[in-house]
């Protein structure tokens, strides 16, 4: 079984030394280098580069540079997507984001984690669990979303939150750890 196959199954895999994964990350870094250095007036070129890098996108998307990710091909975003500066997505596993998502500055979405066992960690092993973010979601500035989390539809995550567990539909959630403080209605 390849390291990529182990990753896709949620098993520990070698992310640091596997030639295939290293090559995939190098390809993404090259594309991101170009993307992050385009002029603001080159929005068409920015969109074209994102559509090449990412696994799936809608037609209307903006990610303000700088943007960083591991592979790109594991990221799927819906229509009418906007992310402000300094978005980081560690996409060892799938990251799916629905339509009408709005992401504030300095947000991190992480599918990757490392074992607590020091010898496994020192071998370069890690795991990756998918992250799913629903439709009509607003993620506030400085939010961290950890591996395996699902954020439901019509959710607002307050600035500075650390999302460690699933957040149900129609919720306002804040804090560290992030927790639902109340339900919110659809307009």
State the residue for tokens 């170009």: 34
104-126: buried (b, 16+ CB within 10 Å) or exposed (e) per residue? bebbbbbbbeeeeeeeeeeeebb
pTM for this predicted structure: 0.95
Catalytic residues: 114
Dist. CA 134–CA 97, nearest whole Å: 6
pLDDT tens series, the chain, 187 aa: 999 999 999 999 999 899 999 999 999 999 999 999 999 999 999 999 999 999 999 999 999 999 999 999 999 999 999 999 999 999 999 999 999 999 999 999 999 999 999 999 999 899 999 999 999 999 999 999 999 999 999 999 999 999 999 999 999 999 999 999 999 976 5
Please, what are the domains in the chain?
A: 3-183 (2.160.10.10)
């Amino acid at each position: 079984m390849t390291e990529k196959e182990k990753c896709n199954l949620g098993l520990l895999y070698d992310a640091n030394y596997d030639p295939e994964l290293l090559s995939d990350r190098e390809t993404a870094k090259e594309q991101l280098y170009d993307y992050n250095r385009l002029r603001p007036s080159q929005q068409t070129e920015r969109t074209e580069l994102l559509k090449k890098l990412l696994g799936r996108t809608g037609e209307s998307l903006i990610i303000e540079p700088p943007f960083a990710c591991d592979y790109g091909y594991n990221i799927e975003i819906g229509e009418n997507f906007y992310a402000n500066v300094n978005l980081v997505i560690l996409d060892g596993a799938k990251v799916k984001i629905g339509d009408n998502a709005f992401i504030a500055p300095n947000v991190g979405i992480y599918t990757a984690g490392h074992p607590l066992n020091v010898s496994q960690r020192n071998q370069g092993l890690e795991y990756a669990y998918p992250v799913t973010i629903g439709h009509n979601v607003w993620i506030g500035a400085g939010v961290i979303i950890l591996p395996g989390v699902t954020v439901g539809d019509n959710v607002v995550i307050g600035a500075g939150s650390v999302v460690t567990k699933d957040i149900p539909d129609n919720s306002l959630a804040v804090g560290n750890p992030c927790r639902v403080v109340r339900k919110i209605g659809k307009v």
